[in-house]
Structure 1
C-alpha cells in the first residue's frame, strides 16, 4: 500500500500512498506534545506542499495503537490543524480506530470538538474498520473534492 516513508520515530511514522493519493499517519503508542506535533505537522506540511484543487490528497490516520492525547494537543488539532488541513484541500480525515480506551476517547473528543467548530461539515472524521477501507474512503473523498 504505502510507497514512501517520510518520517519515522518510535512513537509513529508518516507514509505516502501515491495511488490513493494520501498521507498516512501511523501511531505506535503514546506521544508527548512535541512528538505528536512533529508527526502531525509532517503530514500536514506534505499536504500543504503537494495537494492541488485538481489533485487533492487524503489523510489516513491509523490510530489503532495510539494512546492518550494531551489536552493542549487536542485543542491544537481542532483550532490549528483542522483549518490548515481544510485550506490545503483535505475534505475527510479517514481513521482506523484505536484499540485502547485512551485512543478511543481521544478520537471521540476530536470528533466532538471538531463538530463544535462547524468544520466537521467540511472536514468530517470518518471511521473505517481497516486500512484498506480507510484508503478507499480517502480516495473517494478526494475524488469528490476535485469535482
Structure 2
C-alpha cells in the first residue's frame, strides 16, 4: 500500500504510511522558521487526529533532504514541540539519515536534545533508508503495544 500524501509543500510533506502505521515528515529542501514550525505543528495535528483511529501510531522523519535547523528552532523542538508530541503519544521517532553535513548536524542536535530531556522519553533511532526506518518503527510500535 503506497504512502498517502496529507500535506504537500515545496519544502516538505506529511504522509501517512498505513502499513507501519505512521506519519512521515518528509523534507525536500531548506525550510525557514515559519515553514519548519508550521509543517511540524500541522503534522502533529494530523498525528493526533489519526491516533484516534489508529493505534499504535508512529512518527518517522525522512530527513534525507533536510538542511540546517537554527539553534532557536532546535530549542523550540526540545521545549515546545517534543513535549506536545510526547503528550500526543509519540514514544519513538525513526529517522532516515540526512545526506548533507548541515542536515546531519541538525538531526544529531535534535537527537542529543531529545535523549537528554527529563520531561519526556522519546526513543530516537537513525536509519540509512526509508524501508529500514519503517521496519524498525513497525517493530518498536508493536513491542510497545504488547508491553
The answer to whether TM tops 0.5 is yes
Specify every segment of 5 or more residues in structure 1 that has no aligned partner in the other structure, as ranges. Answer: none
User: Aligned residues, how many?
Assistant: 146
- Quick check: 1:84 aligned with 2:84? yes
User: TM-score normalised to the size of structure 1?
Assistant: 0.91
1:29 aligns with 2:25: no
1:72 aligns to what? 72
Distance 1:88 1:102 in 2: 29
Deviation string 1:1-33 (CA, Å, 9 cap, x unpaired) is: 543211111111110011211001111111001
What is the Cα-based RMSD across aligned positions, in Å?
1.8
Task: State the match for 1:135 in structure 2.
Answer: 134
Structure 1 residue 81, shift from structure 2 partner: 1.4
Question: Comparing both chains, which one has the higher relative contact order based on Cα–Cα distances under 8 Å and sequence gaps of 6 or more?
Answer: 1
Gaps of 5+ in 2: none
2: CA distance between counterparts of 1:51 and 1:111?
Answer: 24
Aligned to 2:44: 44
Q: 1:2 to 1:74 in 2, by over 3 A?
A: farther
Deviations 1:9-67 (A, max 9, x none): 11111100112110011111110011001111122111222225x81211111101100
Does structure 2 retain, via aligned residues, the 8 Å contact 1:93–1:126?
Answer: yes
